[in-house]
Amino acid sequence: MDTYGIERLGIINAKAVYRNAAPKTLVEKALARGEGTLMNTGALVVKTGKYTGRSPDDRFIVDEPSIHDEINWGKINVAISQEKFDLIYNKITAYLQDREIFLFDGFAGADKDYRLSVRVVNELACQNLFIHQLLIRPTDAELASFEPEFTVIAAPGFKCIPAVDGTHSEAAIIISFERRVVLIAGSQYNGEIKKSIFSVMNYLLPKNGIFSMHCSANMGAAGDTALFFGLSGTGKTTLSADPQRKLIGDDEHGWSDSGVFNIEGGCFAKCINLSREHEPQIWDAIRFGALVENVIIDENGVPDYNDKSITENTRVGYPVEYIPNAELSGVGGHPKTVIFLTADAFGVLPPISKLDLNAAMYHFVSGYTSKLAGTERGITEPQATFSTCFGAPFFPLHPNVYARLLGKKITEHKTNVFLVNTGWSGGSYGVGKRMNLKYTRAMVTAALNGDLDNVPYQHDELFNLMVPQSCPGVPDEVLNPRDTWADKAAYDKVANQLAANFEKNFSKYEGMDQAIVDAGPKARK
């Protein structure tokens, strides 16, 4: 039996090793092993148990001499010792002995000049199916000469012992940059695998002068590229899956001197309240070869996408080619437009505003949104949060590294930047309603087409934003959030509090240009 070198990882006596098995084989294995069931569309449906979202408190970076001074240590990038890493590593590889092992060898990064060769080792066939569809799949020739530069070992059946292993719970996601290994224990949530690889790329790419980004990307018929930044649940996947534009990727990209490239080969979309009417491309992508997480299906395999009894963070992973108008090369030119997405649970930010360079830097560093229910464990209703670079949990380096790269890129390429609120209108969460998706799409289309270049703007003094006063396909009153609130005094109070929160959050960033600080909201004292 060919073990494909896994004994070098310390995994010996494997019962069987399946390398880059076809989706059909992986689905059959998953069904035979009781890992999931089939939906009526042919998609494989699994339940991920206790962990239905990322577990940020269980993520660690090994504190190693070569990277100690580079990592932005703190509540997000938490250190763990080399000794504890070695202890857990040895336990996991021992746990995987005498089991069936599933390998995927592939790439992160569609630009061949900057891609990373990644080997993913799974104990579950369903997780191997997921990463097979989410990373970039090698050709036969590439597979024949493949040498992994980074290895991810995912063993959700292995449970850590916090008192012994130095973890916070039974789960642990640990990155060792010196060993070039990621360990994932205790959690079956597939997002841990993909985001660990993304975190690795966010360390490596800036070293080559590449701006690594938590964003989706698409391009128009004329080749004009657009980027959509935002945390999970703000609309990156939904808004980038535009039937009038080619999808480059839905979540992770790099911006080099040549243009934009997708880090992945697939998409990981939210399923909650999914409908064919509003998101036809995602709906149709849920077919054989796709992996669906925590969606309730009936005895006939029919899904109920509105059922959140397991979690609101129901998900589907599928290859990018399942989107009919995907750009299969995974690359595009320099972006003409950048859109920052936020889901404002307070309902006070304008639905769209235009940002100059300093305002763009301010809002990129701030990364304001609301964490939506289910995206992380313990979040049961939206909470206001500031996530640096619209993805703080995935960025190991100091935020200034990424902010400088953004400023450099948008200056060099004269890129237009907009802030789009996909959150609440007419009141805060529980009173107002989520922004009409039809209106959001119309605003995004107008921004991409240049329709907002010559319309009148009004300066919002509180949030220090330039707000367009007309937009094709959108009622004028929707553009000014105060006009949508029945209680204007309540709007003023809530808006001022959010502006103050922006100021308080930004005060922690030392050494920022005063012009960038001045571009932010100005609360009334």
Report, as residue numbers or ranges, the catalytic residues. 54, 195, 214, 232, 236-237, 251, 315
Q: Which two tokens stand for residue 298?
A: 């009936």
Cα distance from N-terminal residue to C-terminal residue, the chain = 72
CB 370 within 8 A of CB 345: yes
Q: What whole-number distance in Å separates Cα of residue 519 and Cα of residue 525?
A: 18
With vertex at residue 402, the alpha carbon angle to CA 210 and CA 194, rounded to the nearest 5 degrees, is 75
Half-sphere exposure of 179 (CA within 13 A, CB side): 21
DSSP lists the bridge partners of residue 341 as 420
CB 268 within 8 A of CB 298: no
In terms of Cα–Cα distance, which of 396, 333, 329, 402 is closest to 361? 402
Q: What whole-number distance in Å separates Cα of residue 87 and Cα of residue 85?
A: 5
Tell me the pairing of strands 172-176 and 59-62. parallel
502's CB contacts (< 8 A; 6+ apart) are 366, 368, 386, 463, 520, 521, 523
Q: Which two tokens stand for residue 32?
A: 């035979």
Q: Which two tokens stand for residue 413?
A: 């390429």
